[in-house]
Amino acid sequence: MAGSRSSPTEPASAATPPDAIALDDVYRSLDVGWSGHDYAELATELAPYLSWIRAFLASGEPLPSHIENSGSIAVPIGESTTPEALFAALGEGARFSMREYPEYWVTVHYPNPEPVVTLLPKVLPGVPRKLLELSERCSHALGAPVGGIGGMFLGWLLPGFSWAMHTDHDNLFEQIATRVHVPLITTPESLWVWGRKEASGTEKWLLTTHLGPDQVHVVRVDVPHTVWNGHASEPRLHLILDVHEDAGRAWPYPARRES
């Protein structure tokens, strides 16, 4: 189970903190048997979500962010919900602010020191058929449920955006130790990063990798991590699915056999 997994960043003793993370300890590439055509169909079915993101960005409305002239927007996929219902489900500790627009709400909350911006469309087109198929294929390949209502979102990063390094298994809003990422818009300058935080708060980036498009990537988020869109002008968009390891198997998953 998730609680028994080893942490590659856990020091053997306080005197010997790790100075490296092996990719195999935190990442898997997953073969779900999809072709480029399948990924293109998925992208087409997700197009309405992109329209909302682009409309919000074009509106000139403020995008709260800890990085000047940059930012991130998350958009849940699946069933329509209201900000009140979304955050009520998380209990009393969940504080948020919101702005209402004709087609969506934009909420801001603080699971970590930086603001997290979520765009909630008022009327959703339902779960795209290809996304259901992808979730089933991922669930089958991993042996744990993947995605589902509340566990599927799009993550848009403006150029220059990066989170502070964090973990997700231990915070009120997430409680997820492993995620699936499917890059929809990306450039080689967009990186996934694992590392550690010094006692002083200083971050050490120990391992970086680019998650390529038209592929399914499995990443550990119970190890300190961040993402970085290092491109000067292009955004990055990933489809992100939670892996519900409490209801199935957990890390480590077998490594993919290269043919």
Ligand X SMILES: O=C(O)CCC(=O)C(=O)O
251 binds ligand X (CB under 6 A): no
Which of 8, 155, 159, 224 forms a contact with ligand X (CB under 6 A)?
A: 155
86/223 with CB nearer ligand X? 223
Backbone angles phi, psi at 42, to 5 degrees: -60, -45
Rounded Cα distance, 27 and 24, in Å? 6
**Shortest spacing between CB 163 and ligand X, in angstroms:** 5
Query: Mask of contacts with ligand X, 167-196, x by CB under 6 A?
Result: -x----------x-----------------
Residue 227 binds ligand X (CB under 6 A): yes
Judged by CB under 6 A, the stretch of 7-15, 34-42, 63-71, 155-163 that binds ligand X is 155-163
Which of 138, 221, 223, 241 contacts ligand X by CB under 6 A? 221
d(CA 205, CA 226): 9
> Where is 84: in which H helix or E strand?
helix 83-88
The stretch near ligand X (CB under 6 A) out of 2-10, 59-67, 219-227, 251-259 is 219-227
Cβ-contact 206, 21 below 8 angstroms: yes
Note whether 34 binds ligand X by CB under 6 A: no
- Binding segment (CB under 6 A) for ligand X, from list 35-43, 76-84, 127-135, 220-228: 220-228
Rg, C-alpha atoms of the chain:
18
The 190-197 sheet, strands edge to edge? 203-209, 190-197, 225-229
Three-state DSSP at 246 gives helix
Q: CA–CA separation, 145 vs 162, rounded Å?
A: 28
Q: Choose, by CB under 6 A, the member of 163, 194, 228, 251 that binds ligand X.
A: 163
What CA–CA distance (Å, rounded) separates 257 from 259? 6
Q: How far apart are the first and last CA of the chain?
A: 30
User: What string of DSSP letters covers 33-49?
Assistant: ---HHHHHHHHHHTHHH
- Residues paired with 236 in a beta bridge: 157
Q: Tokens for 164?
A: 């502070």
Position closest to ligand X via CB: 155
If binding is defined by CB under 6 A, does position 238 make contact with ligand X? yes
Q: How far is the CB of 222 from ligand X (least distance, A)?
A: 10
Contacts with ligand X by CB under 6 A: the residue count is 10
Task: Please report how close the Cβ of residue 185 comes to ligand X at its closest, in angstroms.
Answer: 12
237: tokens are 């968009």
Measured in degrees and rounded to the nearest 5, phi and psi for residue 208 equal -125, 145
Measured from the CB atom, is 82 or 169 closer to ligand X? 169
CB of 151 to ligand X, least distance (A): 12
In whole angstroms, the minimum distance from the beta carbon of 12 to ligand X comes to 26
The residues binding ligand X (CB under 6 A) are 155, 157, 163, 168, 179, 221, 226-227, 238, 240
